[in-house]
Structure 1
Amino acid sequence: MTRTRLVRPASVLAAALAGVALASGVASAHVRYVTSTAEVGEGIAFLVDALADPVNATVLAGGGLALAAAVVTYRRVHIFDRDVATFRSVMIEYRDLLPWLLRLGFGLPLVGAGFAGYFLNPVVDPLIGGGVDRLLQILLGFMIIFGFGTRVAAGAGLVAYLIALPAAPLLVYSLEWIPGFLALALVGSGRPSADHVFERVASTPGTFYSEIDPIRRAVEWGTDRLDRLERYVPTVIRVGMGVGFAFLGLFEKLLAPEMARGVVEQYGLSTATPIPPDLWVLGAGFGEIAIGVAIAVGFFTRASAMAALFVFTLTLFGIPDDPVLAHIGLFSLASALLITGAGPYALDNRLADPRRAPDDAGSEGAAKPAGPADD
């Protein structure tokens, strides 16, 4: 009886939270991709004036209180324990697909950037010229997609990003490449992949290739050490993605209000809804910061990753000019967190609730769950 009485208020609360997210999410695109506004605006002055507006302050405070109420309700009410445990078990079963997910998530954008003629970020022009940037990205992208020398390609991509960053500071708005390349270097190719095929042929006694294999012995030493670090993949993804997401909310929305307002005006968001432009900017900025911080510290990691996926999806449907390839990496990282959970060094590990632990009927990957309280 108690469970039945609690379903209705829980449903109402969920609907209210969805409304708050909808109001702020559409403006959460990478505004530099879709607007030509040159002036970033005075961020601090904008924040002071916008937050001084009673309507803006009330809506933001109401959203924060609703979110806090949702967390408290979830911690106290256990009607969904079985659902959560089953969901985690299913996610853990997909653990072997993690390398494939990351390879697609970062290999495809690399190939797309090469053919489109930009360098990693749609607003960054080729740095070397003569087609070198394009060929490098296409080569590394296809190596990652096919799983041929994945760790080498990921390492080369990371080095290229870090070297190019001082020359093209706008690359800082694509920080997801760092955790993406690092995660690929740690998880390797997985299967299906060219590396897996070559490894199987090389390790089979009596094959001609096993006698002449020039690669396996050369990379075996480093591979063994990277394999031992694989348990930190969720932490790498979580911290890298969370910091990048919060960075975008602060520096691309709150401290660059004119650019964010440009998106609102360009797509008539305030005309289509009763939400004023400043509230759109505030909602998008603070929303991204909140999600980013929650992911970075590992607080309700899977739920935060779902919120990030909701924002990305809403952006793609609400902002038709936003380049899809620019978000595939972030989609991949958020999806990866649904599979891995929070990993080591996360708040979720201190919030563990055995009633929401993955079912014993899960896969053999159940020995690697990360973040037992992260939904």
Structure 2
Amino acid sequence: MDTGSGGAPGHVDYVVDGAPTVRALEFLAAVLSNPLNAALLTGGALAVVAAMAGYLRYRPAAADVRALRETLRGYHTFLPWMLRLAVGLPLVGAGFAGYFFSPSVVAPTRIFQVVVGFLLLFGLATRTVALVGLLAYLGGLAVRPELVLASEYVGGFLGILLLGSGKPSADHLLQRVAATDGSLYGRFDPLHPLVSKFNDVVGPYEQYAPTAMRLGVGFNFALLGFWEKLANPGMALEVVEKYDLTAVVPVDAGLWVVGAGLTELAVGVFLLLGLFTRATAAVAFVVLTTTLFGLPDDPVLAHITLFGLSSALFVTGAGPLSLDERLADVRERSPLATTTD
């Protein structure tokens, strides 16, 4: 397997060929030494903190929030399908494009990724295929550490492994046929008994699918925000210059890079902690959409998994082992609580 460029690969490598080295600490000090930049960054951070504190204290639009969550619960049945699309489609695309999970790692793995991707799209032997895909990614990561920048696949594979195929899927269809009394297919079905046993083992842990997804997406956003932009700002500055982003938002290029890096880092940390998860997932989706339309050279396939997992987290919320869950428990125990949203 070969990388397409030297140095530390990342998503910005897809749209620029290279950039001079820029010392991170000196760059950050220079950006913050500008009073306007410092005021904008500080004001933005304070506004976010004030918005969070105000929401926790006053619960505005509580009825709207309850209606939203109740509606989203009805979407849970579609989550396995969403995840299969989010992982299967980019794997098929990666196979035909000739790269291994990330465009930064070129490899002749066409058949493997296309087969895994199509099996996920069909929903055939779904949990087993997700496990195979996860092991393949981790094996590749051990050889090519730069694949860490495609870490969202871990959350995607784990989510599929925990939730299974759902419906519509080949697994669901074949299991229903095989379980029918007098089924001819059921007499010779080699897959149904194994799938049933696998489902029995994994089933009790399905509740942790949102946790796995937000850890995968959160780590990816935090890493990209810190490593690509704050720790290695040279490439990001080239992107700002190439697409004339300062004409879109009239601030200097340094503030563009620092602001984007801090935003992605904050999104990642919030998802890792499971804090304001649905709102953070919505912000992540907006960031990805802005990147898609703002950087026309950026390969869409490289971000489909992030798009899909962000959408899924908006549906599920934080899940277990999260600050959102802890805050909900505190509200329920509070004698002042009048609603549970």
TM-score by length of 1: 0.83
Once the two structures are overlaid, the 10-residue window that deviates more, 168-177 or 95-104, is 168-177
- The answer to whether the Cα contact below 8 Å between 2:179 and 2:186 also exists between their aligned partners in 1 is yes
- The percentage of counterpart residues that share the same residue type is 48
Shift, 1:149, TM fit: 1.1
- The answer to whether the Cα contact below 8 Å between 2:126 and 2:161 also exists between their aligned partners in 1 is yes
Counterpart CA distance in 2 for 1:221 and 1:350 is 33
- The answer to whether the Cα contact below 8 Å between 1:40 and 1:255 also exists between their aligned partners in 2 is no
C-alpha distance after superposition, 1:290-345 (max 9, x if no partner): 11111110111101111101111111111111111111100111111111111111
Shift, 1:241, TM fit: 1.0
Secondary structure, in 3 states, of the residue corresponding to 2:220? Answer: helix
Counterpart CA distance in 1 for 2:123 and 2:264 is 32
Counterpart CA distance in 2 for 1:193 and 1:59 is 49
Q: Which residue of 1 aligns with 2:91?
A: 110
Change (3 A) 1:73 1:223: same
Structure 1 position 285 matched with structure 2 position 261: yes
Which runs of 5 or more residues in structure 1 are unaligned? Answer: 1-28, 358-371
Change (3 A) 1:355 1:176: farther
Change (3 A) 1:175 1:77: same
Between the two structures, name the one with larger relative contact order (CA 8 Å, sep ≥ 6).
1
Structure 1 position 176 matched with structure 2 position 176: no
Q: Which residue of 2 aligns with 1:191?
A: 167
Match 1:67 to one of 48, 60, 71? 48
Change (3 A) 1:285 1:222: same
Counterpart CA distance in 2 for 1:30 and 1:65 is 29
Change (3 A) 1:70 1:40: same
Once the two structures are overlaid, the 10-residue window that deviates more, 136-145 or 163-172, is 163-172
Match 2:289 to one of 309, 313, 321? 313
Q: Which residue of 2 aligns with 1:217?
A: 193
Counterpart CA distance in 2 for 1:355 and 1:88 is 17
Q: Which residue of 1 aligns with 2:236?
A: 260
- The answer to whether the Cα contact below 8 Å between 2:134 and 2:153 also exists between their aligned partners in 1 is yes
Which runs of 5 or more residues in structure 2 are unaligned? Answer: 1-9, 332-336
Counterpart CA distance in 2 for 1:79 and 1:260 is 38
Once the two structures are overlaid, the 10-residue window that deviates more, 262-271 or 219-228, is 219-228
Secondary structure, in 3 states, of the residue corresponding to 1:183? Answer: helix
- The answer to whether the Cα contact below 8 Å between 1:81 and 1:355 also exists between their aligned partners in 2 is no
Match 1:57 to one of 27, 34, 38? 38
Once the two structures are overlaid, the 10-residue window that deviates more, 64-73 or 133-142, is 64-73
Counterpart CA distance in 1 for 2:241 and 2:77 is 44
- The answer to whether the Cα contact below 8 Å between 1:143 and 1:149 also exists between their aligned partners in 2 is yes
C-alpha distance after superposition, 1:124-160 (max 9, x if no partner): 100xx3xxx0010000000000101111111111111
Shift, 1:48, TM fit: 2.7
- The answer to whether the Cα contact below 8 Å between 1:85 and 1:356 also exists between their aligned partners in 2 is no
Structure 1 position 81 matched with structure 2 position 57: no
Aligned residue pairs total: 325
Q: Which residue of 1 aligns with 2:327?
A: 351
- The answer to whether the Cα contact below 8 Å between 2:73 and 2:316 also exists between their aligned partners in 1 is yes
2:308 counterpart letter in structure 1: S
Q: Which residue of 2 aligns with 1:31?
A: 12
- The answer to whether the Cα contact below 8 Å between 2:19 and 2:238 also exists between their aligned partners in 1 is no
Counterpart CA distance in 1 for 2:250 and 2:197 is 61
Once the two structures are overlaid, the 10-residue window that deviates more, 74-83 or 146-155, is 74-83
Structure 1 position 241 matched with structure 2 position 222: no
Counterpart CA distance in 2 for 1:272 and 1:313 is 15
Secondary structure, in 3 states, of the residue corresponding to 2:105? Answer: coil
Secondary structure, in 3 states, of the residue corresponding to 1:351? Answer: helix
Change (3 A) 1:281 1:177: same
Change (3 A) 1:40 1:93: farther
Shift, 1:277, TM fit: 0.5
Shift, 1:356, TM fit: 5.8
Secondary structure, in 3 states, of the residue corresponding to 1:321? Answer: coil
Secondary structure, in 3 states, of the residue corresponding to 1:166? Answer: helix
Q: Which residue of 1 aligns with 2:313?
A: 337
Q: Which residue of 2 aligns with 1:228?
A: 204
Match 1:140 to one of 116, 119, 129? 116
Match 1:96 to one of 49, 71, 77? 77
Change (3 A) 1:258 1:356: farther
Counterpart CA distance in 1 for 2:299 and 2:262 is 23
Secondary structure, in 3 states, of the residue corresponding to 2:142? Answer: coil
Shift, 1:355, TM fit: 5.5
Match 1:200 to one of 176, 197, 208? 176
1:61 counterpart letter in structure 2: T
Shift, 1:79, TM fit: 3.9
- The answer to whether the Cα contact below 8 Å between 1:179 and 1:241 also exists between their aligned partners in 2 is yes
Counterpart CA distance in 2 for 1:181 and 1:211 is 31
1:246 counterpart letter in structure 2: A
1:243 counterpart letter in structure 2: F
- The answer to whether the Cα contact below 8 Å between 2:86 and 2:308 also exists between their aligned partners in 1 is yes
Q: Which residue of 2 aligns with 1:367?
A: none
Structural RMSD (CA): 1.5
- The answer to whether the Cα contact below 8 Å between 1:238 and 1:342 also exists between their aligned partners in 2 is yes
Counterpart CA distance in 2 for 1:301 and 1:204 is 41
Counterpart CA distance in 2 for 1:203 and 1:103 is 24
